[in-house]
Amino acid sequence: MAGARAFGRLGRLGESWHIVDWSQTGLSRRHDENDPVRARAGFLAIGPGGVYAVTVADQGLFRVLIVGDVVQISGRRLPYVAEARRAASRAAAAISAAAGVNVPVTPVLAFTGSGALSTHGVPTTCLITTDRDLDKLLVAGGSRINPGTAARLARIARDRAAAQVTALARQATPQAGAKSHDGPTSQAGHNGNKAGQNGKPQVPNPRGRG
């Protein structure tokens, strides 16, 4: 499964980092078992370096060629960079709304597999790495937020993720009678407001890297 190895390596980061699975929330793409080349998963990594939305793409045995924003695997151009940016944008919007302050989220595209990875100019607004080096990339972000802020943001992210999963489940389940749209919308908003009232963490913008 895409993301399993990457997720496992993050255990070495220590207690200062929090990992939130957003792959089932609709805010990040779910992996596609029927097409290994397009398989991907998503989660948030929140720690001293800030908030990162990690999109994991499974390259398998194939060679990956990256030229700027273009990702090519086995002759196919895939929109992985754009997807990683959208995932980060959605996460930033959801967490910022709940926290009551602007929370920047850095997009990360991590490749898992045994194929080669070649780059000829990497994207300037999305970090590129492999599952083997993901933990090193996150640590390289330095210390930009304190442990208390990281923990609060992780709680907010988990609350938002749970609300999104509940909303999607209700939308997918036909209900008898009307008012089927009232529950998920009001509940998600209610959870978001509560999270914002617990304190407004000050989150600096992570340093950009090319």
Tokens representing residue 50 in the block: 């800030």
The answer to whether residue 75 scores a pLDDT higher than 90 is no
More confident residue, 16 or 191: 16
119 CB neighbour count, 10 Å cutoff? 12
Q: How far apart are CA 90 and CA 110, in angstroms?
A: 18
pLDDT at 199: 52
pLDDT at 204: 62
In 28-181, where do the E strands start and end? 40-47, 50-60, 64-67, 70-73, 76-78, 105-113, 117-119, 127-130
Q: Which residue has the tokens 């999607």?
A: 168
More confident residue, 74 or 136: 136
- State pLDDT tens for residues 78-132: 899 999 999 999 999 999 999 999 999 999 999 988 888 888 888 888 999 998 8
Q: Which helix (H) or strand (E) holds 20?
A: strand 18-21
pLDDT at 202: 61
- State pLDDT tens for residues 150-200: 999 999 999 988 887 777 678 777 655 545 455 444 444 444 444 444 455
- The strand order across the sheet containing 18-21 reads 18-21, 40-47, 50-60, 105-113, 127-130
For the chain, what are the domain ranges?
A: 1-201
Provide the percentage of residues in the chain whose pLDDT is more than 70: 69
pTM for the full model? 0.74
Report, as an integer, the average pLDDT of 56-66: 87
- Mean pLDDT score across all residues of the chain: 78
CB 184 within 8 A of CB 171: yes
